[in-house]
Amino acid sequence: MNENKYDVIVIGAGPAGYPASIRAAQNGLTVACIDEWKNRDGSHSYGGTCLNAGCIPSKVLLESSELYFRSKSEFKEHGVVIDKVGLDLGVMQARKGNIVRQLTRGIEALLKSNGVEAIRGHGHLIDGTTVEVTDAEGKRKMVHGDNIILATGSMPMALPEAPLHNSLVVDSWGALEFEEVPERLGVIGSGVVGLELGSVWQRLGSKVVILEALGDFLPMVDLDVAREVHRSLRGQGLDIRLDARVTGTAIGENDVTVTYIVDGESHNLEVDRLVVCVGRRPFTDGLFGENAGVELDNRGFICVDNSCRTAVPTVWAIGDVVRGPMLAHKGTEEGVMVADLIAGKFGEVSYKIIPSVIYTSPEVSWVGETEAEVKASGIAYKVGTFPFLANSRAKSMDQSKGLVKLIAAQDDNGILGVHIVGPLAGELIAEAVLAMEFSASVEDLQRTMHAHPTLSEALHEAALSADGNAIHMINN
Ligand code: FAD
Ligand code: NAD
């Protein structure tokens, strides 16, 4: 065999590309996975944005900061008395770094143990079966594949009114790396990153102001849930200013002044650090040669069909670089689907049943349609809700804020959407995802036994409540 010829070449080793490589190898195909990730110190590691600068480091800091915050504000309610709670941010950041290192090395080991040839360098698609790889020293070589999977991910979107500036104005990656807790932190964008990272630093002591251009808070979330999240986060001290359009920034020696307009009136906000998190854009810089033949849409996403095929029959694209929500698990499922399709097996992604989680406190999760979407579709529907206040496990955890909301079709009882705000909402949503994936009806959920006392009983009760039959609810 030609040493530069593979059945499958994957460009990108994030949560879309590395599982695609592993599944293709499991299917008996020869695979090369090319990745150019660069850490701040110039070193390389696998796992892309998710492991190095996204999902994992943010969740590690969310966990640590929540422990710190709860130990200061809630432990005494449990009768746990700690004289003085201190913060060692250096230890917290080092722990995060260790976890990221362990997990990224784990990916390298997985690629190796599955026989995937991991190649460090930049991949450039020459045509439907050829990729030019440039390594860190600038050395080039051609590799050939019967099939090529593009999994090059996304980058933070820039905001011309607030250009990044050293450690003063940073993107989401920069905001995961602060070495001191900023006294005053400004955040532009109250999307998922803004709320998660705003929460981290607010819990650690920053006074956080979030400026959001839209008038609606979390417009993609069901309205009842979004209202509850808004109330909870404001109660914790996050200052979320809606309808606030940023018009400029002025850099001081150690601070930043942000100018923004609300209702036609200009305001100034002085902060010690500013995070810009106004969304991400698909990343295809330097990816395509003249004869690549792959098409992009007007927002820069690679055009694909439902099976992630591009216009070139041998080239596929998956993850953040194609349409759909920018979520790690969505990219992973696409990668597995494509690797199976290439091997001649069945493969499909349920695009209507993708769970989303926001890891604030309380957590937020959902799957399927919001009530507003169901209403707009004209389907006759019913709604069941259940508050965590009436759930004994949530009560014992002292985490009884929030609710479960379930929306189902009147005619066939089909579950159309489930929305949760409350403790471990990100774990609880898995049951709803499975129920929807198996086309379970509300009655199936109602007749399913749930262990007591568990948080999952709240979903059970919400299903019962859709027919007015919740057991632990007054005025059902
Ligand atoms: P990426 O993870 O971006 O990986 C792409 C890889 O391809 C990178 O290593 C890149 O260097 C490499 N690459 C790009 N171009 C080339 C090239 N030409 N040649 C070689 N290599 C190339 N999602 C969740 O589901 N849950 C979360 O909790 C979550 N938290 C997040 C928190 C933050 C702060 C951020 C920023 C994102 C978060 N996300 C989360 C989103 C998640 O990180 C992305 O959806 C996911 O990483 C996309 O995976 P991907 O494989 O498509 O791309
Ligand atoms: P986002 O799209 O979630 O939110 C960006 C926010 O910025 C929006 O509310 C938008 O209205 C606002 N905005 C845009 N321009 C603005 C301006 N000029 N001034 C003020 N506000 C402005 O994007 P994000 O928070 O940057 O996250 C990027 C992606 O990463 C998302 O697609 C998300 O799915 C993914 N992510 C997921 C998780 C998770 O799954 N828990 C966590 C973090 C990130």
pLDDT in tens, 450-462: 999 999 999 999 9
CATH topology of domain 169-278: FAD/NAD(P)-binding domain (3.50.50)
Q: Can you tell me the mean pLDDT for 389-400?
A: 96
Residue nearest to atom 37 of ligand 1 (CA): 54
Catalytic residues: 452
CA of 366 to the centre of ligand 1 (A): 21
Ligand 2 atom at shortest distance from the alpha carbon of 172: 26
Distance CA 336, CA 347 (A): 8
Contact status, residue 127 vs residue 292, Cβ threshold 8 Å? yes
Per CATH, the number for 362-465 is 3.30.390.30
Residue 344: how many other CB atoms lie within 10 Å? 8
Closest CA to 239 of 220, 258, 223, 224: 258
Ligand 1 atom at shortest distance from the alpha carbon of 12: 7
Nearest ligand (C-alpha, residue 153): 1
Residue 334 pLDDT > 90: yes
Structure tokens belonging to residue 391? 């759930």
The pLDDT > 90 percentage for the chain reads 98
Q: Can you tell me the mean pLDDT for 411-420?
A: 97
The average confidence (pLDDT) of the chain is 97
In order of 131, 231, 258, 275, 328, the CA distances from 209 in angstroms are 46, 15, 11, 10, 28
Q: What is the pLDDT of residue 390?
A: 97
Residue nearest to atom 24 of ligand 2 (CA): 279
CA of 142 to the centre of ligand 1 (A): 25
Residue 94 banded pLDDT, cuts 50, 70, 90: very high
Does 325 contact ligand 2 (Cβ within 6 A)?
yes
Q: Can you tell me the mean pLDDT for 308-336?
A: 98
- Which residues sit with their C-beta closer than 6 Å to ligand 1? 11-17, 34-37, 48-50, 54-55, 58-59, 122-123, 151-154, 172, 193, 283, 286-287, 319-321, 326-329, 331
Residue nearest to atom 34 of ligand 1 (CA): 54
Ligand 2 atom at shortest distance from the alpha carbon of 161: 18
Q: Can you tell me the mean pLDDT for 335-345?
A: 98
Structure tokens belonging to residue 366? 């959902």
CA 451 to chain CA centroid, Å, is 29
Contact status, residue 153 vs residue 48, Cβ threshold 8 Å? yes
CA of 334 to the centre of ligand 2 (A): 22
Residue 475 pLDDT > 80: no
Mutate to test the pocket of ligand 2, among 61, 161, 193 (most ligand atoms within 8 A of CB): 193
In order of 200, 253, 299, 343, 426, the CA distances from 125 in angstroms are 39, 44, 20, 22, 38
pLDDT digit string, tens, across residues 343-381: 999 999 999 999 999 999 999 999 999 999 999 999 999
Q: What is the pLDDT of residue 355?
A: 98
Q: Can you tell me the mean pLDDT for 19-24?
A: 98
- Domain 5-156+281-342 in this protein, CATH class: alpha beta
Q: What is the pLDDT of residue 1?
A: 47
Give the global pTM.
0.97
Residue 218 banded pLDDT, cuts 50, 70, 90: very high
pLDDT digit string, tens, across residues 22-58: 999 999 999 999 999 999 999 999 999 999 999 999 9
Where do the structural domains in the chain lie, given as residue ranges? 5-156+281-342, 169-278, 362-465
For residue 447, give the 3-state DSSP assignment.
Answer: coil
pLDDT digit string, tens, across residues 266-290: 999 999 999 999 999 999 999 999 9
CA of 50 to the centre of ligand 1 (A): 5
CA of 6 to the centre of ligand 2 (A): 37
Distant-in-sequence, close-in-space partners of 265: CB < 8 Å, separation ≥ 6: none
Ligand 2 atom at shortest distance from the alpha carbon of 156: 26
Sign, Cα dihedral of 307, 311, 315, 320? negative
**Which alpha helices (H) appear in 191-345, and where do they start and end?**
192-203, 223-235, 328-342
Closest CA to 337 of 348, 328, 329, 327: 348
Q: What is the pLDDT of residue 367?
A: 98
